[in-house]
A and B are shown apart, each in its own frame.
Chain A
Amino acid sequence: MLAIIRRDLLIAARRKSEVLTALFFFVIVTSLFPLGIGPEPTLLKKIAPGVLWVAALLATMLGLTRMFAPDHADGTLEQMALAPTPFGLLVAGKVVAHWLVSGLPLVLLAPVLGIQFDLDAGALGILVVALLLGTPLLSLVGAIGAALTLGVRGGGVLLSLLVLPLYVPALIFGAGAVEAHISGLGAGGHLSLLAALLALAVFFAPWATTAALRIALE
């Protein structure tokens, strides 16, 4: 599993542009909202959690199509399925690598963008924690969609159609945590639910993903 993570990270490091594109997409999308809505700080502060979260959802979507497709094309995926190591573990490794490449940078970048929206230090902290819990969830659920649409006509668009409805709970609790903190309710409940969803997904998602991949490899 560690070898897979190392390998995927190396591949990502050799093709920096793909990673950076998703990151800049995140930056640009969040910066478009103030331009479209207007620069009043109170309004921006109110919509900030939602905007940052929606942009994060879309940015992680960009990397999903590449999670399995190159390995599928050159036959690596087939070898992984045949390897003595459990396939689920290897898939989990790929998901971790995807998160490190496309989720973690978003978490680190989000507070900088949050400042643009006039969020205070406490809200920024909650935003980072929520994203830290939520982005792995996005990678895990997204992996199922990526595996299902592997080698399918119009896979990219289809992927977003399949995965985005499943992202709704993460969006609600993630953005809700920040909003609850801003309105003084405390973010504990939202964060606990987000962590519970993550625990569920860690258990079930690799399993569903391997099942889907085996179907694609048949």
Chain B
Amino acid sequence: MFLRIFVYKIKELSRKYWLVGWNFVFPLVLATAFFLGFGNLIKEDPDTLQTIDVGYVNQLDKSAGFEQVLKELSKENDEGTTLLNLHTYSSKDEAVEDMNSDIIFGFYLESHDGIETVVRSNSYVSTIMNEIVREYNNYTDVINDIAKKHPEKVPAAMDAISSNNSFISEHSFGQNTSQYLQYFYALLAMTSLFSSWISTSMLEGMCANMSECGKRVECSPASKFLSIAAGILAGTLLQIVSNIIVVIYIQYILGINLGVPMGTMIILCSIGSGLGISAGILMGSMIRNERLLVTVPLFFTMICSFFSGLMWGQIKQLLQYNCPIINKINPAALLTDAMYIRSTYGPTDEFYQDTFIMCLMIVGCLIISTLFLRRRKYVSL
């Protein structure tokens, strides 16, 4: 009986035009709008490390140690990435010409006065270029200092430095950490919470105090718990499918890397769907007005999504500074936070904490709903 109710609930829900529109089509439309708005900004995100074209002009009379360092950094590292693509020039003018032609981003000019970094504009690339110089100068200062005070220890110092000659290492900050991605995370959170009205709609057809169909179901020998459980499962499955479609659309059709491994993303979407469904069950178990069964879940979804940064990206940070508890009780904020953390920092404790809180919310909503629905064992009509 469980399977039959489940199958029929899938059929019933998936044929509702409003459900298909809001839960399947609307997120895709919104994702497309976001993509048109700032898709390029995400694709060209500074945090997506790319090989930097740099020039080097040696105005010394001899070969320099710094040039050797740059050549080392132009080789592919163990992780298969190359930090620099080195172009050497015999004169500053040649380097400037290539820089102005966008062949190189900037160049190093090494002379007796030291190493000068010349760039077109300030950006994260110029920061990396400066960092390379700063690190190099630090090392040479250390060696010079040792040479003056303890000349016998210079070889050992050189060995130590050469065994740790990573001037700049790429930390695994995930695949994409653009600030604009949070809009897509908030979109996924909103899609998940839209499932709240799947469950209010599902409950409406199951409870005698909500609809005539509900009366018919409650007059039957089918257990109310079993019927609602089958409906919850059907609603959750539909929502997970909806979320996966949105993820695939964003990641593979719009070409925006969400930065979270697909498996983890599916798990997070499933938890998000569970959150929406269980929140809807809770609302449905408390609300008796037919109109409110639609407006309350909609209001809940939009408010939660707004505070998770769907319309204004800075809102979540603002709340984090002024009233952090809201971010910890807002299911949409928790979901976007979990996605952001997983994307940026990997599976940290905070990621697991967010996931745990969301699971706790699902269980909490279902327990409270069960209590409400049990109290209505005899319904009030």
Partners in one complex: no
Binding site for A on B (CB under 8 A): none
